């Protein structure tokens, strides 16, 4: 079954760190660029970060640049998002999503999404 499953969400204090995971199954994970997208409660979608299929290129939204790091572990078919110096405005459901074209550059749209994991940054 082709799917993405996020984990690692929860409540965290401002300034602390958290790492999200996204486990992929049912497809050749190492062949696809992968993204994180977030959605604050009751708000719209915000793209967060992307990593190319070979890990050679990573891009971040300005709002998280310097604080968040995207990475993959192909041996575990897992995507990560290391989030440091968390702020209240980082509170959101975080989705991992797949770029559609295998072994290609980043097209930037998403043909497969996880169900999301909620991060709440609050003291």
Dump the DSSP string for 29-91: GGGS-EEEEEE-TTS-EEEEEEE-TTSS-EEE-TTTTTTEEEEEETTTTEEEEEE-S--GGG-
Is the Cβ–Cβ distance between 22 and 6 less than 8 Å?
Answer: yes
Tell whether residue 46 is a contact of another protein (CB under 8 A).
Answer: yes
Tell whether residue 9 is a contact of another protein (CB under 8 A).
Answer: no
Residues in the interface with another protein (CB under 8 A) total 24
CB of 111 to another protein, least distance (A): 5
Would you say 15 or 54 has its CB closer to another protein?
54
Would you say 65 or 87 has its CB closer to another protein?
65
Binding site for another protein (CB under 8 A): 44-47, 50, 57, 59-62, 95, 97, 100, 105-111, 113-116
């Amino acid at each position: 079954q082709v799917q993405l499953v996020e984990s690692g969400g929860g409540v965290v204090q401002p300034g602390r760190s958290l790492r999200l995971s996204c486990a992929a199954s049912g497809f050749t994970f190492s062949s696809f660029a992968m993204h994180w997208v977030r959605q604050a409660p009751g708000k719209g979608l915000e793209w967060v970060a992307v990593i190319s299929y070979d890990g050679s290129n990573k891009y971040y939204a300005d709002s998280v640049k310097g604080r968040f790091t995207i990475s993959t572990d192909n041996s575990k078919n897992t995507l990560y998002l290391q989030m440091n110096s968390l702020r209240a405005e980082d509170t959101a459901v975080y989705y991992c999503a797949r770029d559609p074209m295998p072994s290609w550059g980043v097209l930037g749209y998403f043909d497969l999404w996880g169900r999301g994991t909620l991060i709440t940054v609050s003291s």
